Amino acid sequence: MNKVKNSASKMMQPLLAIVVGLIVGAIAMVLAGESVLNTYHEMWKGAFGNFYFFTSTLERSIPIILAGLGVAFAFRAGFFNLGAEGQLVLGAVTTAIVVVYLPFTGVIAIIIAIFSGMVIAGLWSFFAGWMEQRFQINLLISTLLLNYIAVLFAGYLVSEPFRDTSSAGGVPQSVMINDAVKLPALFEGTNLHMGFIFAVVATIILAFIIKRTTFGYEVRMLGQNRFFAQYGGINRKKVMFTSMLISGMLAGLGGGVEVLGMHYRFIEGALTTPQFAWTGLMAALLANSNPIGTAVMAIFLAALDTGSLGVERNTDVPNAISDIIQAVLIIFISARFTFTFLKLKKKEGKKHGKSI
Amino acid sequence: MLLELTGITKKYGDFFANKKIDFSLEENEIHAIVGENGAGKTTLMRMLYGMETPTEGSISVRGIKHKINNPNEAIKLGIGMVHQHFMLFPSFTIAENIVFHHEPKKGILYNRKKAEEEVAILAKKYGMNIDPSQLISDAPVGVQQRVEILKVLYQGADIIILDEPTAVLTPLEVKDLLISLRNLSKQGKSIILITHKLNEVMQVTDRVTVLRDGQVTGSLKTKETDTGHLSKLMVGRELAKKEKTEVKVGASILSIEHLNIIENSSKKKLLEDINFQVKAGEIVGIAGVSGNGQSELIAAITGLLQVNEGSIHLADIDITNLSVRQIREAGLAHIPEDRYLWGSAKTASVEDNLMMTEYRKKAFQKNGILHTNVIRKFAKETINKFSIKTTSQEESAQNLSGGNLQKLIAAREIQQNTPFLLAAEPTRGVDIGAMEFIHEQLLMKRNNGDGVLLISSELSEILSIADRVLVMFEGKIVGEFTQADVSDEKISLLMAGGKHEQG
């Protein structure tokens, strides 16, 4: 019973955040002079209204889920990986280039291309972990700054050496991939591709690792109290390197499947403009880094985006409505961090009046 | 009657923290409040000091009923409180800390000279030896406590509440404090002493009130009672007498030779030429005031700190500078100094906390996959066997009381059946029931023929269960006693840096 109560109270926070987000969204709709019910109805229709919209929402959630899982996993071990964006982009550009230059096509080529993207993205994240170990460089800062290097470098690769020169001008992009290495769509006539299956499987595997394996136990204990972990003989360095590697690989997988399943090439800005990685981070934080929760939140956040397009199509409310709701969620997340911090402070203060 | 609490009840939801408590304090009286953790001592004092308001009941000072809404009102009524954790500004002088908020002024400026004079006079009046111009950060703990008391006196308190004042003091400082308390009462002050150390109660107080589960179980004249009776009132049953069976001391389990640890930056020796052994079937106690190298010794033995020189052997394996995991596999169990920092993850479940030293073992995992059913069963059994009070094994550790969490840690470490156990401050801040339990477990381990190293700043703990006592001072071992020739005074002197006189 206690367990139920516990998980219920864990669910309460994100739910409350969402409810308040939707209320603030409603206020914005009123200000825009539209009916709230009607607008939310349009949003619902835009996200889940028919099979095509529904699959578009799921498609959009793929990179968000995978980036979010990466963040969540590192966070469980106590490491704040803010580098999902760079890792996503590196995974995407590597996959896009490798798959074009492989001398063969087919399933093996897909696997090799995706895997190389994951490895490069994983190493990029690992590199930040290594710098923390070796030079005590703060992970928060290094992972964040490595994003710029990764994104700009990927942009350079498709602007210069690997640019698709067949189409003059336009956005820098790599060469279109062969039909035989495209990830198949799950349903005829929709965008939803195999990548979604990968994301679901990754979610389940990650949940299993965290809950049911010795490595997951080490990750959880390290994340909850590094001194306790050290005392018990958990090797912080090993767990950190492994979790950063896996974290980066998950984001890299997200980039790779977007290239092979959606864009069919690496297009500069196609993964950064929609803020996939940051939305993934938000999903992970809203879900308290629970893998399944992260996936659910990712789908919800993707639905906000696709839904707001529907809103824009059919009402006078601009699609910025999605940003407004997400902004409220961000405030809630930061409020939770501040609140935990304040509670901690208060507790410390209380200790002073306590007898043993 | 100076102070009278009648029928005080404090309810949190359905829970009675205090239930119909009557308490009185006379002029010049030292009145102790004793009780186990969670018995309601602190709650009661917080109400008296205006930090909480009672659900029912009344407080009267000098015959007049008062509602005390905040500490300022309490201070105005002449009630002052010395908290267990000092609330002083380290970078201010002693005088500045004492006059804080009531500073003597020269125009609008702070009058330093007058402040120091006033403080000096006050200190002299109550026979407390301090230097008003010294910085708090340079003052030893005992002096800081005097400052706290003087601060309360400066604010004009007639009733002084002291919350566990001796918890942080060395035995000599305790002696000084008890003398000061006597002085204060002679000079017209009344004192409420919250404590769980019954021998201090016997030494200094006039009356004792015992609380258990939020209710008064006894209010007695100190002269008419003894520690045995008081602990019975506190715990609700007779405490079993510790019986130490003779155990044949066997081969050396832990052996430390010429151990040196040098601080990286300052090149200061944290540990200097430490040599000793713990043999099978004995409990070796290390006495000493906290901060004299015990933490470094613990860290060196358990693999948390790099050893510069010397060697440590555990059951014939050289464990010098091995990893924590290797040392644990060689046969170490370790009850850590700080249960919250090292000993547990407070947001993790009871079960997860119990698994820390077990999860790698064959019984609990195969190829890295945990056997959740086995783990659940193991956790349930451990909780029952060691009577750890928790709603379930899913409960997070932070919801356990301090004593129960300590029991959990002790259970985890003792259950491993290793040949060696390092128990650091195993009963710090736990109530008598849990303390008795943990001591029993340590003795059982010794009787099993294992070696136990007990490091504690609580002298009475060491004296009651150790077979051999070493004293640490400034990173060195400055004395060794067998149980036969050990005494409170000899150790106290060494702990404070005095010379050990042979013969």
- pLDDT, tens digit (0-9, with 9 covering 90-100), for A304-318: 999 988 888 888 888
Total length of chain B: 503
Nearest-Cα residue of chain A relative to residue B397: A224
Q: Do B194 and A351 touch (CB under 8 A)?
A: no
A228·B343 Cβ contact <8 A:
yes
Q: If phi over 0 gives left and psi between -120 and 50 gives alpha, with beta otherwise, what is residue B394?
A: alpha
The verdict on B161 and B292 lying in the same domain is no
**Chain A: closest CA distance from residue B111 (Å):** 30
**Residue B484 confidence (pLDDT):** 80
What is the mean predicted confidence (pLDDT) over A34-60?
92
Flag whether B365 is in a domain. no
Clarify whether residues B451 and B325 are in a common domain. Answer: yes
A contacts of B51 (beta carbons < 8 Å): 353
Q: What is the pLDDT of residue B164?
A: 83
Position A235 pLDDT exceeds 90: yes
pLDDT digits (tens, 9 = 90+) for B317-351: 999 999 999 999 999 999 998 888 899 998 999 99
Nearest to A356 among B164, B324, B334 (CB): B164
> A233 at the B interface (CB within 8 A)?
yes
CB contact under 8 A, A356 and B304: no
For residue A255, give how far its alpha carbon lies from the nearest alpha carbon of chain B (Å): 30
The distance of A8 to chain B (nearest Cα, Å) reads 14
Q: Given this model, what pLDDT does residue B15 score?
A: 75
CB contact under 8 A, B392 and A228: no
Overall domain count for chain B: 2
Query: In sequence order, what are the residues at sequence separation of 6 or more whose Cβ sits closer than 8 angstroms to the Cβ of residue B32?
Result: B192, B193, B194, B195, B201, B205, B207, B208, B209, B222
Task: Give the residue-averaged pLDDT of A192-217.
Answer: 96
A3/B325 Cβ within 8 A = no
> Has residue A354 got a pLDDT over 70?
no
Q: Please indicate, yes or no, if residue B82 is contained in any of the structural domains.
A: yes
What would the DSSP string read from start to end of A229-288?
A: HHHTT--HHHHHHHHHHHHHHHHHHHHHHHIIIIISS-BTTTTTTTTHHHHHHHHHHHTT
Which of B179, B202, B235 terminates a domain? The answer is: B235
Do B173 and B261 lie in one domain? The reply is no
Select from A231, A236, A288 the residue whose CB has the most chain B CBs within 10 Å, as the one to mutate to test that interface: A231
B267 and B221 inside one domain = no
Task: Judge whether A23 lies within some domain.
Answer: yes
Backbone Cα Rg of chain A:
21
Q: How confident is the model at residue A166 (pLDDT cuts 50, 70, 90)?
A: confident
Examine the domain organization and report whether B230 and B340 are in the same domain. Answer: no
Closest CA relative to residue A321, chosen from A313, A330, A312: A312
Contact A217 B370 (CB under 8 A): yes
Please state, in angstroms and rounded to a whole number, the distance separating the CA atoms of residues B327 and B317.
9
3-state SS assignment for residue A352: coil
Asked if residue B229 has pLDDT above 60, the reply is: yes
Q: What is the mean pLDDT of residues A123-148?
A: 95
CA closest to A4 among chain B residues = B394
Q: Tell me whether residue A346 is in a domain.
A: no
Q: Of A200-209, A314-323, B108-117, B303-312, which has the strongest mean pLDDT? A: A200-209
Supply the range of the domain harboring residue A202. Answer: 13-337
User: What pLDDT score was predicted for residue A14?
Assistant: 78
Query: Does B212 map to a domain?
Result: yes
Given CB atoms, is A230 within the 8 Å cutoff of chain B? Answer: yes
Q: What is the average per-residue pLDDT within A158-165?
A: 88
Whether B355 sits inside 8 A of A217 (CB atoms) is: yes
Contact yes or no for B356 and A228 at CB 8 A: yes
Same domain, B180 and B277: no
**Do residue B182 and residue B330 come from a single domain?**
no
B25-50: per-residue pLDDT in tens? 999 999 999 887 667 888 899 899 99
- In this structure, the answer to whether residues B206 and B258 fall within a common structural domain is no
Contact flag B369-A213 (C-beta cutoff 8 Å) = yes
Chain B nearest CA to A136, separation (Å): 17
Same domain, B186 and B315: no
Nearest CA in chain B to A224: B345
Please report the pLDDT score of residue A253 as a whole number: 97
The CA-based diameter of chain A, rounded to the nearest angstrom, is 78
Distance from CA of A329 to the nearest CA of B (A): 24
User: Which tens digits make up the pLDDT trace of A324-345?
Assistant: 888 888 888 877 777 766 665 5
Residue A343: predicted pLDDT: 64
* Residues of A whose CB is below 8 A from B336: 231
Fill in the amino acid letter for B195.
Answer: T
pLDDT band at B460 (very low <50, low <70, confident <90, very high): confident
Does the structure show a pLDDT above 80 at A153? Answer: yes
Say if B244 falls within a structural domain. no
**Res A346 pLDDT > 70:** no
CB pair distance less than 8 Å for A2 and B392 = yes
Minimal CA separation from A228 to chain B, in Å = 5
Integer distance in angstroms from the first to the last C-alpha of chain B? 53
Do B150 and B298 lie in one domain? The reply is: no
One-letter amino acid of B172: L
Q: How many domains does the structure of chain A reveal?
A: 1
Per-residue pLDDT for B406 more than 60?
yes
Question: Cα distance from B406 to chain A (closest Cα, Å)?
Answer: 13
Q: Which residues of A touch B393 (CB under 8 A)?
A: none
**Chain B positions in Cβ-Cβ contact with residue A352 (cut-off 8 Å):** 83-85, 87
Give dist(CA B79, CA B61) in Å, integer. Answer: 9
Distance CA A252, CA A122 (A): 7
> Are A212 and B369 within 8 A, CB to CB?
yes
Cβ–Cβ < 8 Å for A47, A57: yes
Among B235, B268, B289, which residue terminates a domain? B235
Contact B190, B23 (CB under 8 A): no
Residue from A292, A271, A303, A341 nearest A21 by CA? A303
Could you tell me the two tokens for B51? 């930090």
Q: Quickly count helices (H) and strands (E) in chain B.
A: 16, 24
ipTM over 0.90: no
pLDDT of residue B499: 62
Chain A residue numbers touching B369 (CB-CB < 8 A): 212-214
Residues of chain B found within 8 Å of residue A6, distances taken between Cβ atoms: 394
What does the block give as tokens for B172? 């000599």
Question: How do strand B30-35 and strand B190-195 relate by DSSP bridges?
Answer: parallel
Question: Which residues have CB under 8 Å from B339's CB, separation 6+?
Answer: B402, B405, B406, B409, B428
Q: What is the mean pLDDT of residues B123-130?
A: 87
Sorting pLDDT into bands at 50, 70 and 90, what band is B408? very high
> How close is the nearest chain A Cα to the Cα of B32, in Å?
13
A9/B contact by beta carbon, under 8 A? no
Which of the four pLDDT bands, split at 50, 70 and 90, describes residue B412?
very high
Which domain covers residue B339, as residue numbers?
A: 252-348+418-495
Mean pLDDT across the stretch B209-220?
Answer: 90
Q: β-pairing, B56-61 with B64-66?
A: antiparallel
The lowest-confidence range among A342-351, B27-36, B478-487 is A342-351
Contacts of A221 in chain B (CB under 8 A): 345, 348, 352, 356
CA distance B196 to chain A (A): 8
What confidence tens digit (pLDDT) does each residue in B231-287 have?
888 877 665 556 677 788 889 999 999 999 998 877 888 899 999 999 999 999 999
Q: Do B356 and A221 touch (CB under 8 A)?
A: yes
Say if residue B82's pLDDT is above 60: yes
Domain final residue pick, B235, B268, B290: B235
| B479 close to B470: Cβ distance less than 8 angstroms | yes
- Measured between beta carbons, the chain B residues lying within 8 angstroms of A229 are 345
DSSP of A191-244, one letter per residue? S-BTHHHHHHHHHHHHHHHHHHBHHHHHHHHHHH-HHHHHHTT--HHHHHHHHH
Residue B216 pLDDT exceeds 70: yes
User: B123 with B202, same domain?
Assistant: yes
Which CATH number belongs to the domain containing residue B51 in this structure?
3.40.50.300
Whether residue A228 lies within 8 A of chain B, CB to CB, comes out as yes
Q: Compute the mean pLDDT over every residue in chain A, rounded to the nearest whole number.
A: 89
pLDDT at residue number B205: 94
Q: Do both B108 and B71 map to the same domain?
A: yes
CA A328, A330, A331, A334: dihedral to nearest 10 degrees? 160
Cα–Cα–Cα angle for A274, A275, A279, rounded to 5 degrees = 120
- The answer to whether residue B240 is domain-embedded is no
- Is the residue at B157 inside a domain? yes
Q: What is the DSSP letter of B242?
A: P
Q: What percent of chain B has pLDDT over 90?
A: 54
B358 is a domain residue:
no
For residue A349, the model assigns a pLDDT of 47
A239 touches chain B (CB under 8 A): no
Is B384 inside a domain boundary?
no
Q: Is A350 on the interface with B (CB under 8 A)?
A: no
Closest Cα to residue A294, out of A223, A206, A224? A206
Burial-class residue B229 by CB neighbours within 10 Å (0-12, 13-18, 19+): middle
For position A351, what pLDDT does the model report?
Answer: 40
| A1 found inside a domain | no
Strands across the sheet containing B159-163: B79-82, B159-163, B190-195, B30-35, B207-212, B215-221
